[in-house]
Structure 1
Amino acid sequence: MDTQAEHPERDHSSEPPAGSEEGSRFSRVRGAVASVRSWRRRILLTGMAGTAGLLLFSAFVVQPFLIPSGSMEPTLRVGDRVLVNKLAYRFGAEPQRGDVVVFDGTGSFVREDLDANPVTALARGAAASLGLAEPADTDFVKRVVGVGGDRVVCCDARGGLRVNGVPVDETYLHPGDTASEAPFDIVVPQGTLWMLGDHRSRSSDSRDHLGSPGGGMVPVERVTGRVDWLGWPPARIGGLAETGAFDGVRAPGRAHG
């Protein structure tokens, strides 16, 4: 009995004879198909590598951020895409009065959402980090008005804001808005920030959370980064204008020069 395994031979009857016109055409077609497949693989790998690079860049350096509301008008408008500098506070620097920042409001502006779907949150976070989707409901963009130790009061006799006893000329406010319709007098704890929107009449900010745990104060470690540039639309591309509104404000206990 022959126990040697039989090796089936490939049936070449369906292929044109080598050297014939049909054979040459068949080889060209097969080569073209292989080339297309190779091109598609290269495109796919390049796209995946590019996306991964963008995600890493946005995670650690600069992140696009889509402005979803009018709470920061006229400084930022609905639909603007801003670029958030994530290195601004990475090396010992801290947010300063007047900075426009993006921060995670979890625990200060919104409660902890224990029922959130982690897979959905991850997908949405990836899209938002590329500026392709609205930011998560826990992400906010506001202006820093008070830092640790500051006393922020509104409103004074002229209807304006005072920080450490110094009147602040808020030229960035939305036309027709006042500093605040609701009065407040707070001292910002160390390590936290007092945040307000530029469109005060349409901004849900620190004022709305005075009675909440934390009193509307945002921990410094929750700040994602500083808004330094406008990336879209084309007519508004450029650096975000700085404000000199807080130039005269000094830390409590320091003399005013």
Structure 2
Amino acid sequence: MSPLQAGEPQATAELARLFAEGPAAVLTGAGISTDSGIPDYRGAGTPPRTPMSIAQFMDNEAYRRRFWAGARIGFLRSSGVAPNAGHLALARLEAAGRIGGVITQNVDDLHRRSGSRTVVELHGNGRVIRCLRCGARWSRADVLGWFDDLNPGFAERNAHAEIAPDGDARVSGTERVVVPSCPGRGAPCGGLLRPDVVYFGETVPPAVFSAAETLVRDASALLLVGTSLAVNTGMRLLHRAERRGIPIAVINRGPTAVDRRDSVAVRIEGGTSETLSALASALDVRV
């Protein structure tokens, strides 16, 4: 199938036709957040980068120092990061009953911040930090405040470090970084803190995947938005949609793993913000 180009009237019309039978489900990836200033892992011009694995984070203090240093600078630089037109279009489409909800592979919380109500976060939420000893949950802002207390001046000295695809930053010289630990709630703890996300090497919790399956099961179509489908969980959801025989649409800059599949009814090459905004307009949904 030759892809349609984002912005073409035919592309918007073909996409809008998928909603004739009822609400669709949407699966999003990093490509929907690039217009918010968060780079992706596999887009055009993105240098190769392997995310930190759970084994590295758990077993090696150097990796934890690097993670928290990058998280601190990423948080400092993310103050201007906000939902973009694509996120907002999906929120309005849900409010209008045109989609049943959003399944996302992202951990940036931008769907919830845009107003989307039904959001299945396959890989967790990076704004939540949990303790592996006592189970307490903290906000990322809380933990990074403790980081500042332990590492005075670090954020200021590294404020211009390059932002990474996961929203953190590439920071060097982390050998003397002190990693924050859990203070406990009411009693000292000292446990290891980690983001409440699914690292490479971990699996999506069964209850989370089940919620995503339910959205696909109840949908009249599946939209794949800003994802190359390189992650197995997304492919599993695609297979559920194929078994049901519902139409599938792909909106992405660059190739995806499913471009040549017969189940793909619409393939749009281009940006997610402009395409989703045009879709909302075609379906008479104000963004």
Structure with bigger strand share is 1
Structure with bigger helix share is 2
Is the radius of gyration larger for structure 1 or structure 2?
1
TM-score norm. by structure 2 comes to: 0.22
Higher normalized contact order (CA 8 Å, seq sep 6+, divided by chain length) = 2
